[in-house]
Amino acid sequence: MVPSHDQGEVVTVVIPMTQYYTKQVYFNLELGDIVSSNTRSIFDLNFSCDDTSTIIRLNTANFAKAAKTMFENLEDVTDTVGLVWKFDKSDGNPDSTVFGNWISIAGDDTTYRNKVWVINRGIDALGNVLGLKKIKFNRLIGGKYFFTFSNMDNSGKVDDFVEKDNLYYYSQYSFINEDLMQTEPEKFNWDLLFTQYTTLLFTDGGLPYPYLVTGVLQKFDNISIASDTSMVFSDITLSDSSNFYFSTALDKIGYDWKKLVGDVNTGSIYYEIKLNENYIIKDYNSYFYKLRFINFYDPLTGEKGYPTFEYQRL
């Protein structure tokens, strides 16, 4: 049931991801404001803070990938020959995470795979290679993830842990800082994350390939989103919400509200917004919002990387 409330005004918001998409930006729909932002390459891993969760995710904003080795000792891994690299899927399905089988829990029986993983940390916003790390996830005890990582030549070995904090959905860890980097806001303080992220695209022949895209991810719980291209944005009302299918996939809004048009040969290419792409969002308070994008460029400088949308509480 939707709480009694007044319908909001249509609000226009510009998100400053910057020209090279260096920033990840968190937005709160109810407040109508940016609640925090961070440099996208500042962390490497996401650790779930849910009481019963064992999920560990890569920072897909960096095009990071990982591969499981056959070894159980960190020192035995010296190269990447023969490794099969994998990416986390962008829909957030926990069954499709690279590290999904690092631990197995069946009743009171907990089994650790004890394998060493190699992580390709990806690239930063300017295309600089971030390098390799090898890691072993040791234990999850008392709400703490214990792990050991090092460089490929066994230098820089670190034993560390990340403790769950139920104020957040995920906590972030940085290999470079060798410390927790809590970039994600508290769980009820944000709804949408504007960021680059890795997704799976397909060639004309149907072959899958990972690709770095720029778009929107929703938070990991208590929010669902529907999309529509048949209605005029201004005509959508609260009563229409019952006609839509709502999804909890993290990339339901995603990146496909814009398209690249122009002539690649002449360099005259630009992003064009699909103005008929409407999104209906249900938040954790059961309020509904409608949203559509109207620009991808800074209104003052003309630089790309400034997604602009209009939205309204229904």
What was the pLDDT predicted at 263?
79
Q: Are residues 32 and 49 in the same domain?
A: no
For residue 57, tell me if it sits in a domain: yes
What is the amino acid identity at position 13?
V
Instruction: Compute CA 235 distance to the chain's CA centroid, rounded to the nearest angstrom.
Output: 31
Percent of residues, the chain, with pLDDT higher than 90: 85
Q: Are residues 49 and 177 in the same domain?
A: yes
* Residue 206 in domain: yes
Q: State the pLDDT at residue 287.
A: 95
Least confident span in 5-14, 85-94, 177-186: 5-14
Structure tokens, 225: 């989103």
* pLDDT score, position 152: 97
Assigned domain for 202 exists: yes
Estimate the share of the chain in helix, then strand, then coil, as percent rounded to the nearest 5: 10, 45, 50
Query: For residue 15, is it within any domain?
Result: yes
Give the end-to-end CA distance of the chain in Å, rounded to a whole number: 13
Same domain, 246 and 301: yes
Residue 155 has pLDDT above 70, yes or no: yes
Total domains, the chain: 2
209 and 259 inside one domain: yes
Tell me the mean pLDDT in the region 204-222.
Answer: 90
Q: Is the pLDDT of residue 8 over 90?
A: no
Q: Say if residues 77 and 118 touch (Cβ distance below 8 Å).
A: yes
CA distance linking residue 74 with residue 154, whole number of Å: 8
Question: Is the CB of residue 31 less than 8 Å from the CB of residue 185?
Answer: no
Question: Is pLDDT at 1 greater than 70 in this prediction?
Answer: no
**Which of residues 182, 209, 226 is at a domain's end?**
182
Sheet strand arrangement including 56-58: 56-58, 45-48, 170-174, 179-180
Residues β-bridged to residue 209: 201
126 and 159, same domain (yes or no): yes
Compute φ and ψ for 301, nearest 5 degrees: -100, -20
Average of per-residue pLDDT across 213-228: 93
Q: What is the per-residue pLDDT across 50-77, written as a single tens digit (0 to 9) for each? A: 999 999 999 999 999 999 999 999 999 9
Q: Give the 3-state secondary structure of residue 11.
A: strand
Residues 67 and 31 grouped into a single domain: no
How far, CA to CA in Å, does 25 sit from each of 48, 193, 195?
Answer: 20, 6, 7
| Tokens 């400088």 belong to residue | 301
Strand partners, 187: none
* pLDDT at site 286: 93
Using the 3D structure, point to which of 182, 214, 229 is the last residue of a domain.
Answer: 182
pLDDT of residue 71: 96
pLDDT band at 3 (very low <50, low <70, confident <90, very high): low
Where among 123, 150, 182 does a domain terminate?
182
Q: Considering the domain boundaries, does residue 154 fall inside one? A: yes
> Which residues have C-beta within 8 Å of that of residue 77, sequence separation ≥ 6?
69, 71, 116, 118, 134, 152
Do 113 and 194 belong to one domain? no
Same structural domain for residues 173 and 57?
A: yes
Distant-in-sequence, close-in-space partners of 177: CB < 8 Å, separation ≥ 6: none
pLDDT at 264: 72
246 falls in which pLDDT band (50, 70, 90)? very high
Q: Is residue 134 a part of any domain in this protein?
A: yes
Residues 247 and 291 in one domain: yes
Are 33 and 27 a contacting pair, CB within 8 Å?
yes
From residue 111, give the alpha-carbon distance in Å to each of 101, 105, 134, 137, 140: 10, 6, 21, 12, 10
Q: What single DSSP character describes residue 176?
A: T
The per-residue pLDDT for 157 is 97
pTM over 0.85: yes
pLDDT in tens, 268-294: 889 999 999 999 999 999 999 999 999
Phi/psi class of residue 122: alpha, beta or left (left: φ > 0; alpha: ψ in -120 to 50)? left
Q: Domain for residue 5, yes or no? A: no
Ranking 101-105, 256-260, 291-295 by mean pLDDT, the lowest is 101-105
Among candidate residues 52, 56, 145, the one with its CA nearest the CA of residue 101:
56
pLDDT higher than threshold 90 for residue 122: yes
| 15-30: average pLDDT | 97
Check whether residue 79 and residue 124 sit in a common domain.
yes
Write out the residue range of the structural domain in which residue 33 sits: 11-39+188-313
Taking alpha carbons only, the member of 185, 169, 283, 273 closest to residue 225 is: 283
> Is residue 27 over pLDDT 90?
yes
Candidates 40, 98, 44; CA nearest to 217 is 40
**In a shared domain, residues 137 and 49:** yes
Residue 162 lies in a domain: yes
Residues 298 and 174 in one domain: no
8 Å CB contact between 250 and 242: no
